[in-house]
A and B are shown apart, each in its own frame.
Chain A
Amino acid sequence: MSIIYFLIGCSVFLALAFLIAFFWAQKSGQNDDLFTPGMRILLDDETKESPKND
């Protein structure tokens, strides 16, 4: 049954990793604007040659 010590260690470590990832996301401002990126993705990339060069 000693394997439980190891398994619990693993689970806590994994959860901690997610927590740290969330902290990082929060700090780098990824959750500041949750609306605009959703709109941005709908806009097409302009093909470079299209604007009146030819």
Chain B
Amino acid sequence: MPETLTLVKPHCYHCGEECLTTAYETDQKQFCCQGCQSVYTILSGAGFCSYYTYNDHPGTTRLRNDKKYDYLSDPTILAELLDYTDERLSIITLYIPHIHCSSCLWLLEQLNRFNPAIAYSRVDFLKKQLIVRFDPKGINLQQLVELLNDIGYEPLISLQDIIKKQNKEVKSNLVQKIAVAGFCFGNVMLLSFPEYFGLSAFEQNFKTFFGYLNILFGIPVVFYSGWGYFVSAWHNIRNKILNIDFPLALGIAVLFIRTVVEILTHSGAGFADTLCGLVFFLLVGKFVQQKTYHHISFERDYRSFFPVAVQVIAEGKEKPVPLAELKTGHRMVIRHNEIIPADAMLLQGEALIDFSFVTGEAVPVNRTLGEIIYAGGRQTGEAIELEVVKPVSQSYLTQLWNNEAFTRKQDTRMKTFNETVSKYFTIVLVAIAVGALLVWLPFNYRRGIDAFTAVLIVACPCALALSTPFTMSAALSIFDRNFFYLKNTAVVEQLARINTLVMDKTGTITTGGSKSIGLDAELNAEQRQLIFSACTNSIHPLSRMICKYLGDLIKLPVTGYREIPGKGITANVNGHQVRVGNDEMIFGEVKEGNNLTRVHLMIDDAYLGYFGFQHEYRAGLETVTGLSPAYELYLLSGDQDHERAELLRFFPDNAHLFFNQSPQQKLDHISQLQQKGLKVMMLGDGLNDSGALKQSDLGVAVTDNVNNFSPGSDAIMDGRAFNKLPAFLRFSKDTVKIIHISFLISLTYNLIGLSYAVTGTLSPLIAAVLMPLSTATIISFTTLATHFAAKRRKLL
């Protein structure tokens, strides 16, 4: 037996994937496929070889890539996609998921070397966006996108371009408001110090000067930076809600009015520095709370991954039709790797549909002529023709979005601690203030008013308003570090209240694509080589896994290769008849009750054995299911119950396992649980879980690549973080505890302040010390405590 010489499998020079064959070679560089090779040829031809020097294997694999962009010449679609256009200039922002390294940046910013009509191209790395300005006479959008596709950067163009929208609307002027408040705060502090240290008799004229300046600085703070609190408080009162903005607005107003009155009547120094500090810290708290993930979208629905248009055959010719105009009876052509956008009947071609977007199941399924194929599947293999039986919005999958769960407003979810507490806080605060006023009024009306305003000033819940944002944002960055991305800070509190976990199976508790492969056959070296040679021709995921399993062998000449979709392959290798396929192909019948997906091997009519493929459960599933007594666990799967026996190892209660669930049934199931008073967290991954994710109290999309498609949800979890779920749940409970404690701390400060305030003798100095001191305590306490809690839960 000859020794194998190649020990190291070559990696594709372009994308870094393992090369299964040595067929693609240019300039002594190995490529995994035709696509990668052609990208290299284009780049090296144009003198772009530095692309490969900045990083190793910067490209994306081109194995599954074959798209048409004809629809981009349609003027209505064009108008929707372009940011701006006139006769000489068009601007477009494209979302390119593959942007990941400096090579990408380098190449994409030099597009004008490919075509001089491209005037400008700029990458926004975190948002994975490319902004291109081009001359529409020199290059049209279709050519531009094809160029990008040719060099390996396929833009994601979808009907609902959320990433773009999301990044546009963040433009609030919070940062400017903070800048103004900070500017005034600094200056007012400077001007207030002399007063606190005492001014000698001949310096008294400075006092009024400083006072007037303080009023001047207070005006922009109240009417620009702090104005949002008045608007929000007014809005809430009209809706009969008492939230934290009301005492805050009251505090700001009282501070300002009392400052102005004291200074103008020369009766005191006023509280200008407290006022500016308060607004400044509050706004900083708001800023900290706003966390944006530029590259992740939590609002995706089916539209963001359906194509913009589809090729329709009319009068013997193909033309692109936008999805909205697709009607029942249209005959559409779906090519390799294209998504079927509407329920349709298969008319022609071999359909091998990959439903991984819908169900998470990665192995494509075979469909026969005349069968109805539901929307959301991706065709792999040759082009097929289908007749639309239902328009896009009415199809089996998309009609889920007509459910009320999607139209309902989000604020019917759980109330946060802050919302609950601030209602009572406000009532008590106003009661104390009015009480102080009434007690003093009969004796000394001036003192009464002093006491009334002092209570409102000193009890202004600044620390309370800051405790939640600072704790939550610290918690959010802990989650973030562990690949668990939460939509906003309120989700942390929702997480703490969950008592029921509902999980989808495929793609959620099993890893999406990879299955474990095992060989149940005795193969000699020659047989291995024969099977390898037959399987390298196929792009089917199972064939590729078999090739990987067998290792890098030398490919023998193959004749008469035939792939029967959904069944297997036959080929004549080196004079041997090789058959690799499923039960149906090898035995002519389907054997029931298999837990394994089997691929049988046959050479020259001799049965050798089979490859067994098994779903691989995510690492740490047992720790998640170990939550069982404290949390109720359910499984809702769209699949058959082949794996029930295996899953019972993890899930204690057979009655909590549900199979064959339609998307609508999943949604209904969640709302049933909610009616029992349970707080439900749904973990899902596919579009078929969208309804359940939306209906649940906390929807978590589990995905292996956060940039890939994931359905709309409250949080996105990277598959690698799945085993940490119990730690996440415990940590969220810790953070809520931290908020409670910091609330007590801020209450203590309020009580100290109140003891001065009710007597009507609150000096500006005490207010000016108390407010920043309490703020600093809260910020440092919450940050340290969150850090400590994360350490305890082993999340840091």
Chain A residues in contact with chain B, CB under 8 A?
Answer: 1, 4-5, 8, 11-12, 15-16, 18-19, 22-23, 26, 31-33, 35-36, 39-40, 42-44, 46, 50-52
| Nearest opposing residue in chain B for A27, CB measure | B176
Does B203 contact A1, Cβ atoms closer than 8 Å?
A: yes
Given contacts A4-B206, A8-B213, A43-B54, contact A36 B105 (CB under 8 A): yes
B84 CB to closest chain A CB (Å) equals 16
**Complexed CA–CA distance, A46 and B187 (Å):** 49
Contact B176 A39 (CB under 8 A): no
B183 contact from A15, A31, A36, Cβ within 8 A? A15
- Contact status A23-B179, CB under 8 Å: yes
Other A-B pairs beyond A39-B102, A39-B105, 12, CB < 8 Å: A1-B203, A12-B187, A12-B213, A15-B186, A18-B183, A19-B183, A26-B179, A31-B175, A35-B125, A36-B123, A36-B126, A40-B109
Contacts of B54 in A (CB 8 A): 43
Q: A4-B206, A5-B209 are in contact. Are A43 and B126 (CB under 8 A)?
A: no
Identify 5 residue pairs between A and B in the complex whose beta-carbon atoms are under 8 Å apart, listed by A's number: A31-B175, A33-B126, A35-B126, A42-B102, A50-B47
Name the one of B105, B125, B191 contacting A43, with C-beta atoms under 8 angstroms: B105
CA distance A36 to B126 in the complex (A): 8
Q: How far is the CB of B345 from chain A (nearest CB, A)?
A: 48
Q: Which of B47, B190, B209 contacts A52 (CB 8 A)?
A: B47
Chain A positions within 8 Å of B186 at CB level: 15
| Docked CA distance A18–B54 (Å) | 39
A15 close to B47 (CB less than 8 A): no
In the complex, the answer to whether A36 meets B179 with C-beta atoms within 8 Å is: no
A33-B124, A33-B126, A35-B126 known; A26 and B105 CB under 8 Å? no
Known: A4-B206, A5-B209, A31-B175. A39 touches B125 (CB 8 A): yes
Contact B126 A19 (CB under 8 A): no
B659 cross-chain contacts in A, Cβ below 8 A: none
Chain B residues whose C-beta falls within 8 Å of the C-beta of A46 in the assembled complex: 50
B176 to A23, Cβ gap below 8 A?
A: yes
Q: In the complex the two chains form, what is the Cα distance from A52 to B175 in whole Å?
A: 49
Residues of B within 8 A of A33 (CB): 124-127
A26 to B170, CA, bound (A): 13
Enumerate the 7 nearest inter-chain pairs by beta-carbon distance, A residue then B residue, closest first. Answer: A51-B47, A36-B125, A19-B183, A43-B106, A35-B126, A33-B124, A52-B47
Nearest residue in A to B206 (C-beta to C-beta)? A4
Q: Hey, which bits of chain B sit against chain A, CB under 8 A?
A: 46-47, 50, 54, 102, 105-106, 109, 123-127, 175-176, 179-180, 183, 186-187, 190-191, 203, 206, 209, 213
- Please name the residue on chain A nearest to B46 by beta carbon: A51
Contacts of A22 in B (CB 8 A): 179
Quote the shortest CB–CB distance from B91 to chain A (angstroms).
14
Rounded to whole Å, the gap between the CB of A24 and the closest CB of chain B is: 11
A45 CB to nearest chain B CB (Å): 11
- Whether A26 lies near B47 (C-beta < 8 A) is no
A18 to B176 Cα, complex, angstroms: 12
Q: List, in ascending order, chain B residues with CB within 8 A of A42's CB.
A: 102
Which residues does chain A contribute within 8 Å of B209, judged by CB atoms? 5
A43 to B48, CA, bound (A): 13
Residue of B nearest to A36 (CB): B125
CA of A23 to CA of B179 in the docked complex: distance in angstroms?
8
Q: How distant is B105 from chain A, measured CB to nearest CB, in Å? A: 6
Give complex CA distance A40, B514 in Å.
36
Shortest C-beta distance, B270 to chain A (Å), equals: 17
Bound-complex Cα distance A16 to B46 (A): 51
Q: How far is A19 from B125 in the complex, measured between Cα atoms in Å? A: 28
Complex Cα gap A13–B178 (Å): 19
Cβ contacts under 8 Å, A12 to chain B:
187, 213
Q: If the complex has contacts A15-B186, A36-B126, are A26 and B102 also in contact, measured as CB distance less than 8 A? A: no
Q: Which residues of A contact B124 (CB under 8 A)?
A: 32-33, 36
Cα-based distance from A18 to B175 in the complex (angstroms):
15
What separation, in Å, do the CA atoms of A42 and B54 have in the docked complex? 10
Q: Complex: how many Å from CA A8 to CA B217?
A: 13
Q: Which residue of B lies closest to A9 (CB)?
A: B213
Q: Smallest Cβ distance from B114 to chain A, in angstroms? A: 12
Measured CB to CB, the closest approach of chain A to B272, in angstroms, equals 14
**Closest B-chain residue to A43, C-beta based?**
B106
Q: Which residues of B contact A50 (CB under 8 A)?
A: 47
Query: Are A26 and B50 within 8 A (Cβ)?
Result: no
- Chain A residues lying within 8 Å of B191, measured Cβ to Cβ, are 8
Q: Which residues of B contact A43 (CB under 8 A)?
A: 54, 102, 105-106
